[in-house]
Structure 1
Amino acid sequence: MSDRSSFSVSNDAARLIGQQLMREERLHGGDLSQVTQLWLEDGSHAVAKNSIFPDREAQMLEAIAKSGAPAPQVLAVDDKLLVMQWLRNRDVLHHAWSDLGKVLALLHTVHGPLYGWNHNYGLGNITILNGWMRNWPDFWGEYRLRPHLPHISPDLVDRLEELIEDLPQRLPMTPKPVLLHGDLWDGNILVDDGRIVGLIDPCCYYGDAEVDIAMINLFDRPSGSFYESYETYHPLMAGYEERLNIYKLWPALVHLRLFGDGYRPLVTQLLKSAGV
């Protein structure tokens, strides 16, 4: 994260889009970046975010929007700052489960050539590695689970290594490589009047659709209307419930490294649920 003051970031953002800043307000969330709402001279609003890879986040937001799923329009970007369209966010996700099912199914209609993404990016001080692979268990093991091994305690290392070795028996070998949001929890889903109006803070790549299903289940419990809506367009494969614990491990390990041992019980429970 940049050490520039909020006011400096806001002024820089306004200048990037050729406007004068009238007022600013720090938005809730933004644990890993500074996010600010801007009031501009022409009466419009925008959102400024300073992050490590703003150009890469802009590319991901544009990929989401191109799918037809809602995402804020990218207004400007430089080497440290992303300026986006401001979207109303006055409702809660529990009022929009059915619409989220439709939105996510729409996102997942976009298919990639292989599993992966064309560049690395970061969450806080953690680098998220990407490459291209033809085999999904290999991608999940090598790019999502194995990079955590040097950063966790030896007892967790042994169990995680056992799981990585067994992934070809646990995960589908070649599911459709769909466009994933990659960090789909309710803080990254904007809701207004019972509708999903924007997916934000993406960690996109092409992979198994169940990854996004797992992420939304990590801290929340989607209603039946979510699954009914999603499966109208994108039926889930048999046995997906068992695979969700394997996919939940990646964000749980990220949280463990970013926020400390308070997330260790979650990681150990997921490993236990996965049978290791």
Structure 2
Amino acid sequence: MAARPDFQILLDDALTGLHNVDTPAGGLRAKLAEHPHLVLRGHQSVGGGCIADAARLETDVAPLFIKTHADRGDGMFPAEARGLEALGTRIRTPQVIATGSVEGTAYLLLEWLDLGPVNDTALGEALAELHAEPQPAFGWPEDNFIGAMPQLAGEDDDWARFYGQRRLAPQLEWAAERGLATRSIDAGQELVEALPAFFTDYRPYPALIHGDMWGANHGALADGTPVLFDPATYRADREAEIAMTELFGGFSPGFYRAYQAHLPLDPGYRVRKRLYNFYHVLNHFNLFGGGYGSQADGMIRQLLADIR
């Protein structure tokens, strides 16, 4: 087990960074930047998932949330921070305080939010509002991450081409390296070549999505305002977001009613949602192995059957 990082050292590093840049007025970052020093008064581990460790830090100014992992030099936390900031222009996210690396430990420091269960109607409405604003192109200007796996940068006006080349093809390559059956890889490559067939009567527009939208990555403030966190942000067909909410469950019928009341789904979504969730199942195979391989194989074959 890795040694616990020295949180005071990480706080000192974060505050030094705030002092060295112009911090916009208002908000927690500006409040923290006014202080010459932050005093750590306590900490408590909280659920951070399987990728990073997480803790609540009690300071003399405000409670803070910190995520840490051994620094691999891959820019995971800076990419996550920029995703949060992009989403935060349209929907509530934790404010980013700082990212950095000290003595081999990478960190992401955020405001602490007291979160409770989300109101599914409010979440559906908020997500529809996020998705309703067209973006300039599909993709994202930098690599970021879905779990611990990279999501490759790139921008394209053609969604099928982007999704095939920058999402499915890399996952298939990594799956081959991790031992997914050759027949599945070959069928997956055939699927990538056939992607335009899923869009003959449907022209998606680029929408900003959270990208890893399952039940553990959202909550609500005391007043009911939905909050999103742990994103894998990029600009995509919005159906990809809604499809993932169905993959692992946890979203009520009220969520879908509220979303569709504001932004109805195309009838062809019933077929394409399998295409979008295939990406996440492949990603889970690459992260965890096991039965996700056979699940991915079955999805490939069903998808090919859908367009034959």
What amino acid is aligned across from residue 88 of structure 1 in structure 2? D
Query: How many Å apart are 1:4 and its aligned residue?
Result: 6.5
Query: What residue is the counterpart of 2:28 in the other structure?
Result: none
Query: What residue is the counterpart of 1:228 in the other structure?
Result: 257
For 1:142-199, what per-residue CA distance to the aligned partner results, in whole angstroms no more than 9, with x for missing partners?
1111112222321211221121111101136641100011111111112355935421
For 1:45-90, what per-residue CA distance to the aligned partner results, in whole angstroms no more than 9, with x for missing partners?
11111354222211111111101x1100111222532110111233
Cα distance in 2 for residues equivalent to 1:123 and 1:232: 29
Query: How many Å apart are 1:28 and its aligned residue?
Result: 1.2
Correspondence list, 1:168-179, <5 A: 168-171=196-199, 174-179=203-208
Query: What residue is the counterpart of 2:245 in the other structure?
Result: 216
Cα distance in 1 for residues equivalent to 2:5 and 2:279: 35
What amino acid is aligned across from residue 78 of structure 1 in structure 2? G
RMSD (CA atoms): 2.2
Identify unmatched segments of 5+ residues in structure 1: none
Query: What residue is the counterpart of 2:65 in the other structure?
Result: 47
Query: How many Å apart are 1:31 and its aligned residue?
Result: 0.8
> Which has the greater radius of gyration?
2
Q: What secondary structure does 1:226 align onto?
A: helix
Matched, 1:34 2:60: no
Q: What secondary structure does 2:191 align onto?
A: helix
Q: Select which of 116, 126, 129 maps to 1:103.
A: 126
Query: What residue is the counterpart of 2:87 in the other structure?
Result: 64
Identify unmatched segments of 5+ residues in structure 2: 16-36, 70-74
Q: Select which of 261, 273, 287 maps to 1:244.
A: 273
What amino acid is aligned across from residue 161 of structure 2 in structure 1? D
Q: What secondary structure does 2:88 align onto?
A: helix
Query: What residue is the counterpart of 2:99 in the other structure?
Result: 77
Matched, 1:89 2:121: no
Correspondence list, 1:117-266, <5 A: 117-123=140-146, 125-150=148-173, 151-152=175-176, 153=180, 154-171=182-199, 174-192=203-221, 195=224, 197-220=226-249, 222-266=251-295
CA gap of 1:6–1:174, structure 2 versus 1, over 3 A, is farther
Percent identity between the two aligned chains: 29
What amino acid is aligned across from residue 162 of structure 1 in structure 2? E
CA gap of 1:249–1:196, structure 2 versus 1, over 3 A, is farther
Query: How many Å apart are 1:226 and its aligned residue?
Result: 1.3
CA contact (8 A) 1:14 1:40 kept: no
